[in-house]
Structure 1
Amino acid sequence: MSRGIYIVANDKVMESSIALIASIRLYNCQVPVFLIPFDDNYLQVAAALSSLYGVQLYPNLGFVEQFTREIGQIFDRNFLALPNKMRKLCAWFGPLDEFLYIDTDIIVFEDIAANLNKLSEVDFFCCDYHHLGEKLRNVFSPIVKEKHIFTDSELQDVFNSGFWASRKATISESQMYEVLRECSQHREYFDFTQNVTDQPILNYLILKLIPKRCNLVKASETEPGSWAGSKHFQERDYVLYDKGKRLKYLHWAGIPIKSGSPYWKLWKYYRYLHEKKPNLMQRIFRLIQQ
């Protein structure tokens, strides 16, 4: 059985991709990591991640292109803000039997692949507090609750789409396309007011198709947080703690990663963990090239 991690990236997110993979490799230098290209501009990031950290390219790029065309046929042009974000769903049809999907605006603080052991109990898991902080915001509109599309208990399982895990055989290609077509007929179900794309659709898919699921933060009342907008985390030796408990990961969801951002110095540490920081002239040259 193969286990590993998927990311979606292109050259535009080169810097954050390097920081993420550097943090993963710090705690596990062997776990397979596959890059699903966000678009055709991925050659530089693929080359850098391959040479630095042994990241592999998703082996069936033809399927990724076919899936993208299918998304374009299922959804009206104005339905999804960034249709290529849906490419993360290709994780169910890749080479890994059990997998984590991780957004590139994340760094991890442990052997994150070890969490895949939870898949011996469930078919899907996430690890965030969206259900408490955001509730249905950026996922579903009030109509979903009013029409009883899902039960109140099911709606407690909404999650952020930047960190989650499942296994290859859990959703078939035909099931996925059927539910995506269902989504395309009911735009009123979803909250796209903040220009999210994949998160509402992925939540609908999971609630419809995977009943055996869990959220790791519900294991106890003292599980640590993960959002970079939380200012109370304490740093020790380049690791963050929430009231004494070590974070699994930190996610800059909705927050640009740049000078002045929360935990900026920590992010820079992981970004340059295996590289020298560029001097001023090198930074100017990089900006000119972009």
Structure 2
Amino acid sequence: MNRGIYIIANDKVIDQAIALLNSIRLYDVNTPVVMIPYDDNYHHIADLLNTYYGVQVYADLDFIERLSQKLHATFGGQFFARPNQFRKQACWFGKFDEFLYIDTDIVVFEKIIDNLNHLRHSDFICCDYQHLGGIKNVFNPQVLKEQVFTETEIKDIFNGGFWGSKKNLISEEDLYTTFAECANHPEYFDFSEKTSDQPIINYMLLKRVPRRFNIIRREGKAPGNWAGTPHFQTHNHLLFDTTVNQSLQYLHWAGIRIQPGCPYWEIWEYYRNLHPAIPLMDIPATANKTLWERNLASIKNKLRRLNTSL
């Protein structure tokens, strides 16, 4: 079985992509990774990720352009805050028979590709607690009032930053039909926090893929994975969820700017700077720091660089 990982990125998220790939390769040096360009500004990151991690650029760039044009033709230019997020749907038509899609604002703490073993009994997997917050950031209550989905079905909503499935399970026509259905019913969706593709893709999966599995429902439960969760404990550059007595599989900074002072910054910084051949990241000083704090941060940067070179 041909398995692999897809990411979507451009030159603006180089540091995030480095952190993600460092974490993936720490536990798995063999699984192939393919990058879907977020836009045309991707050549620097493509070269870097290929040099150090063997990452390949998605082969069929014509499909990605066709997808973007169809999306624009269906919804117009103002419907989504970040329409290029839909490019991740190229996963369905790439080189891998089974695949994981992972956002770049994630680091992993295990051989993450092994989660695809759950596809033995399902066609689509995710691993999050999105549903516990209700339907916010995905649907409006209208979908229940009009019985578009049942209460049971909407318990399968998921965050679009981490999921896995099988090649050609969704066809190109399925995508375009979904776009048309959703464009006719904008009242179904919650875009209040600029989630872009997430509501539409949830709609498509709930309508077209009945065999779904959320890994958090596995036997023995599963840990959380959102960086906004305050109770995770750090140990040896890993995180531990005390509510289920398990180590995290991955951590996702969804909706959180990754910068000094953000939740679990030290974890992200460790993975970003893990590869000895890649220069350390220049850590920006936050705007509200005093001059003394900014000078201290500069000294720490210099010391870290010195220690790395020794």
TM-score normalised by length of structure 2: 0.88
Which amino acid is the alignment partner of residue 90 of structure 2?
Answer: C
- Aligned partner of 1:250 in structure 2 is 251
C-alpha distance in 2 between matches for 1:271 and 1:52: 13
- Aligned partner of 2:148 in structure 1 is 149
**Rg larger in structure:** 2
C-alpha distance in 1 between matches for 2:210 and 2:218: 18
- Aligned partner of 2:27 in structure 1 is 27
Answering whether residue 131 of structure 2 is matched by residue 131 of structure 1, we say: yes
C-alpha distance in 2 between matches for 1:165 and 1:12: 25
Q: Show the 5 A alignment for 1:112-123.
A: 112-123=112-123
- Aligned partner of 1:90 in structure 2 is 90
Q: Show the 5 A alignment for 1:1-290.
A: 1-132=1-132, 134-220=133-219, 222-243=221-242, 244-274=245-275, 275-278=278-281
Report if the CA contact (8 A) 1:79-1:187 is conserved: no
Of 158-167 and 62-71, the range deviating more from structure 2: 62-71
C-alpha distance in 2 between matches for 1:182 and 1:46: 35
Which amino acid is the alignment partner of residue 122 of structure 2?
Answer: V
| Structure 2 unaligned regions, length at least 5 | 283-297, 302-310
List structure 1 runs of 4+ shifted beyond 6 angstroms.
none
Secondary structure at 1:169 match in 2: coil
How many percent of aligned residue pairs carry the same amino acid? 50
Q: How far does residue 180 in structure 1 lie from its aligned partner after superposition?
A: 1.5
Secondary structure at 1:267 match in 2: helix
Secondary structure at 1:171 match in 2: coil
C-alpha distance in 2 between matches for 1:136 and 1:222: 22
* Offset from partner CA, 1:214-257 (integer Å, 9 cap, x none): 10001246420000011111111111110130111000000000
Instruction: Name the Cα RMSD after superposition.
Output: 1.4
Which amino acid is the alignment partner of residue 273 of structure 2?
Answer: Y
TM-score normalised by length of structure 1: 0.94
C-alpha distance in 1 between matches for 2:134 and 2:172: 29
Of 143-152 and 75-84, the range deviating more from structure 2: 75-84
Q: How far does residue 90 in structure 1 lie from its aligned partner after superposition?
A: 0.8
- Aligned partner of 1:288 in structure 2 is none
Secondary structure at 2:152 match in 1: helix
C-alpha distance in 1 between matches for 2:221 and 2:170: 32
Q: How far does residue 277 in structure 1 lie from its aligned partner after superposition?
A: 2.3
* Offset from partner CA, 1:150-181 (integer Å, 9 cap, x none): 11110110111100000012111112211111
Report if the CA contact (8 A) 1:80-1:197 is conserved: yes
C-alpha distance in 1 between matches for 2:222 and 2:60: 37
C-alpha distance in 1 between matches for 2:250 and 2:2: 23
C-alpha distance in 1 between matches for 2:211 and 2:267: 36
